[in-house]
């Protein structure tokens, strides 16, 4: 029985160590991504200011802004709800969402 308890304790310690390692790697990956990703350099066409301002009261939402905000909301634990909202707007992935739906999608996501 002592060997069985030793094995169980070792497996528990291993599980805890793997969980800690996974959390650190994920955290480091996200921090590195945010550090090396600069929308102005990586997607200059997406951050250019439009020559004609929209006449409607709502501010036009760019793809980069939408993706950034949805990523924050997703990291806060709402990944499945974000995926459901994207599907609700007739798309399988974020890049398939129509530009006209960006503002509505963002507004719905902000409510989460």
pLDDT at 11: 95
Q: Residue 87: CB partners within 8 Å, gap ≥ 6?
A: none
Provide the residue count of the chain.
Answer: 112
Per-residue pLDDT of the chain (112 residues; tens, 9 = 90+): 789 999 999 999 999 999 999 888 887 777 666 556 656 665 655 555 555 555 445 578 888 988 999 998 888 889 999 999 999 998 988 888 998 889 899 999 888 8
Across 59-95, b (16+ Cβ under 10 Å) vs e yields: eebbebbbbeebbebbeeebeeebeebbeebeeeebe
Q: What pTM does this model have?
A: 0.48
**DSSP secondary structure code for residue 95 in this structure:** G
How far, CA to CA in Å, does 62 sit from each of 9, 20, 23? 52, 36, 31
């Amino acid at each position: 029985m002592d060997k069985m308890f030793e094995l169980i304790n070792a497996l528990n310690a291993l599980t805890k160590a793997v969980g800690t390692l996974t959390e650190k790697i994920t955290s480091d990956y996200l921090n590195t991504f945010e550090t090396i990703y600069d929308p102005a350099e990586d997607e200059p066409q997406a951050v250019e200011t439009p020559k004609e301002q929209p006449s409607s009261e709502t501010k036009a939402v760019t793809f980069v802004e939408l993706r950034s905000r949805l990523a924050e909301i997703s990291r806060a634990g709402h990944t499945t709800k974000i995926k459901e909202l994207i599907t609700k707007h007739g798309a399988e992935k974020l890049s398939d969402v129509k530009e006209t739906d960006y503002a509505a999608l963002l507004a719905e996501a902000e409510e989460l």
